[in-house]
Structure 1
Amino acid sequence: MDEERLLPAEARRRIRCNEWTRPTAGMASGYTQANMAILKKELAFEFLLFCQRNPKPCPVLDVTEPGLPIPRLVAPTADVRTDLPKYRIYRHGELTDEVHDILEYWEDDMVAFLIGCSFTFEYPLMNNGISIRHIDEHCNVPMYKTNIQTVKAGRFEGPMVVSMRPIPHEDVIRAVQVTSRFPSVHGAPVHIGDPAAIGIVDITKPDFGDSVSIRPNEVPVFWACGVTPQAIAMQVKPDLMITHAPGHMLITDKRDEDYAVL
């Protein structure tokens, strides 16, 4: 079956059964994908406040009830413990494991945050004739830590992570226009052009994801990224934090256009 045409429930079934373990870019096109961060209830309010103060990298789409793994607003038949292709386990800020489900890690006081993902606006970009390099090259989107600092909330603070897509010079304005319609999934770019200006030393060596080719007629364009909580985890060092593995998202039942503004 063409992965782009899968309905969300079938896509999640394939992921749950480990029939799909790769990044989800281009899967179930037209349906919103979400980053995820899971924390113990005692840290949930501080993290929610952090997201509220940092809506560009951390736009919240849904928050689960403590101990309940069902994202009722965006995918009421999903289970956040099994329906992402790959998860990361952080203990005291250190990445300790990558797994395909988190059933053995789930506890009764955990809260899952579903955060908007820039994969959501890739389909609209393609509909406007702008190709997506990491989809064309069958790899993960490149992501980088920056020198852009987030707004502190309680114990949560640290650098913003950005995702990068090479855009032809003549299409940059259109890319800004298209993505600006999706403020709930990172919206307009945070930077266009020189990577060094936001603290990226070598654009060929992303901190997360894969390197992609940049052609002579293209400019790197950077969007705020929902992997930011993972960079924060490395700095804040909570006892336990579970996240999606970069590029491995939850596919929701929401259509991309549900989050578009006119």
Structure 2
Amino acid sequence: MNDRWLRCRAPRADPRVRVVCFPHAGGTAGPYAAWGAALDGRTELSAVQYPGREERIEEPPPHDLDALLSGVCRALLPLAGRPLVLFGHSLGAVVAYETARRLTRQGAPPARLVVSGRRAPCVPVTGDLHTRSDDALVAELARLGATSAELLAEPAFRTVYLPAVRADFALAETYRYAPAGPLPCPVTAVIGAADTEVDHDQASRWAAHTTGAFTLHTVPGGHFWFVPDDTGVLHLLRTAAHEASRPVPSESETPA
């Protein structure tokens, strides 16, 4: 897969279902794309690579959600011939949700949306970290456990990394939900029991954003509940992919 928006480390010749992962603020496609090798041979996983990081480092980081969504959806529409499962963590949950809305309007709704570590879109998010100093951003990243302390202590790394982090936090903190119809696909939400960024009530309100089934999982851990042990998130993605790959029964097959 050569599209600049997507990274796929384990392409499948004839995937039954495709999983697409949307990284957190400051995140890159690499760690998420690595999960693909642990899925079965009929499930293909890709991760979205936002501008301004890794091989896209020369591009300005995203400052406009609409432009970001346009690029992502252009990359995903050609893949919509197979069921799509969208997974997003934190900021990635918002981007995945808005991507699902846009794909639905374009006639290619995902088979399932999985959101992690983020309150429902209808619950306002506030914050001004994107306007604070570099040291304040670094302190927040260290608190959340998103990036190693050793890397954050390196001036060269901070120079390259923090512009994308700041832009991502701006998207996350200034996002405002525009009311519209709920998604037709099932939604699964997951939060860490010790997550300081979202609580059970805020996550449970994702139920209002779907006409399909809604499930909320509370798992051990904090905001980055799947770091360093990704066993739980891999199980979640395998389950979501398996359910998305099931054929939809026709009316004649549906029990009365």
| Same-fold call, TM cutoff 0.5 | no
Which protein is richer in strand relative to its size? 1
* TM-score in terms of structure 1 length: 0.27
